[in-house]
Amino acid sequence: MGEADDPTARRTDEESARRAVAAVWRIESARIVATLTRVVGDFGLAEDLAQEALAEALEQWPSAGVPRNPGAWLTAVAKRRAIDGWRRRERYDERLAAIAHDLEAEQREAADAAPWDPDRIDDDVLRLVFTACHPVLSREAQVALTLRVVGGLGSEEIASAFLVPTSTVQQRIVRAKKALADAGVPFEVPARDAFAARLAGVLAVVYLVFTEGHAASTGDRVLRADLAQEAMRLGRVLAALVPDEPEPHGLVALMELTAARFPARVDAAGDPVPLDRQDRTRWDRTLIAHGRGALEYAERAAARRDRGLGPYALQAVIAEAHAVAPSVEATDWPRIVRAYDALAEVAPSPVVALNRAVAVSMAPGPDGGPEAALAIVDALADDRRLRMSHLLPSVRGELLARLGRDAEARAEFEEAARLAGNDRERALLLAKAAARR
């Protein structure tokens, strides 16, 4: 039997192609969909065309090999699909003819072009974000749709970020696409006087993309640095677009101060390293300096507008307290608790309350410590959203372990492992459970 007929080799080629397609989509999806949206003028159609191109890649790449510029290949295939669709509907107008005429030249140029510059933000990507965050959509729909097409996240990952069922996310995305199409929403960055209506949704999207990069909800990696870096780039562009608005700068500060810890967040095997065991000499001091500068800028901008800090800047205050501390024990925990108190006022959520409990557990004095924190956590036990997440039993397990209640701690860690979607995190939780036997 020849190599071409070897089923084992064929399966290997197919698996390699699937991995390549997944990697390209993770890195290039936002630019591909954004480019197609500009060409076809329809957000939903653009993503459908991109998915069809992915299917064609899975068919061709196992035998033909991965092209030198896979993103350009996928975009070209999707454009051809669009042309074929227009031809079938007898809509072959001058615009279509121009696209078809230029397609071969684009492919030749793309094949010889240097790889995409990761430090540059395409205008099309920014247009895509603002289109998905149009006021015609609810905030939940804005964030879900943009995480799907800009972050390249699957429905399960988005559901984990929202603490809602996967089916709910899927319905939101389908309805959002239809609503944008029905409303004829243009593919554009809005005029400056329309920024305010879109900015909160865009910031929420960027933050959730970063969050998924910082702590991947599914898969076998703790970090997805590609997503986190994309979020930081988008955040910097937004901050430059609205320099007088404090919250974009607060978000940039939060992301940079958090990303500074990435080099120490996983060990050589890719397993997560808890904060109290991280080698702080490996933290990125340049990112810390940039993040602190962005936070100072956000604080000055808020003062000029005679307003308090918003939720992203307050979280940046917390991240800064961690970033400048020489150890967990020397961290300014009272400052962190105060920041969480303020955050609970401007953006209350069960996750904020849970994180505040962790800070309380570390704070000195009669109002701090694990016993006080456990009472806070127990009061959150009936929250419907937290019951779907591994976070609540994970935190409760840590507090019970510190109180010496090992059997209860073990049960909580086992429950957290059952709920965890990330393989590495699940393994860590099971190891914690085993250590309490």
Q: Which two tokens mark 18?
A: 């699937």
Nearest to 325 by CA among 311, 336, 313: 336
The pLDDT score that the predictor gives to residue 346 is 95
CA 342 from centre of chain: 25
What would the pLDDT profile of 175-186 be if each residue is shown by its tens digit? 988 888 888 887
Residue 396 lies in a domain: yes
- Domain endpoint, select from 93, 112, 131: 112
Which residues in the chain come in under a pLDDT of 70? 1-14, 26-27, 86-123, 151, 161, 192, 218-219
The whole-number pLDDT of residue 334 equals 96
Q: What is the DSSP string of 93-140?
A: -HHHHHHHHHHHHHHHHHHHSPPP-TT---HHHHHHHHHHT-TTS-HH
Helix axes 195-214, 123-132, angle to 10 degrees: 100
**Domain count for the chain:** 2
Residue 424 lies in domain: 350-437
Nearest residue to 188 via CA among 249, 120, 133: 133
Residue with tokens 């969909």: 33
| Per-residue 3-state assignment (H helix, E strand, C coil) for 226-280 | HHHHHHHHHHHHHHHHCCCCHHHHHHHHHHHHHHCCHHHHECCCCCECCHHHCCH
Q: Are 354 and 379 in contact (CB under 8 A)?
A: no
Question: Which pLDDT score, from 0 to 100, does residue 347 have?
Answer: 93
Q: What is the pLDDT of residue 115?
A: 46
User: Does 281 map to a domain?
Assistant: no
> Do 170 and 155 touch, CB atoms closer than 8 A?
yes
Separation between Cα atoms, residue 422 and residue 425, nearest integer Å: 5
Q: Judge contact between 61 and 20, C-beta under 8 A.
A: yes
Tally Cβ neighbours within 10 Å of residue 285. 11
Picking from 44, 79, 112, the residue at the C-terminal end of a domain is: 112
Separation CA 166–CA 384 (nearest Å): 15
User: Please, are residues 262 and 252 in contact by the beta-carbon 8 Å criterion?
Assistant: no
- Position 87 scores a pLDDT of 67
pLDDT at 121: 42
pLDDT (tens digit per residue) in 35-89: 888 887 777 788 888 888 888 888 888 878 888 888 888 888 888 888 777 666 6
CATH number of the domain that residue 391 is part of:
1.25.40
**Domain C-terminal end among 112, 130, 155:** 112
Q: Is residue 386 assigned to a domain? A: yes
* 431's tokens: 């190891």
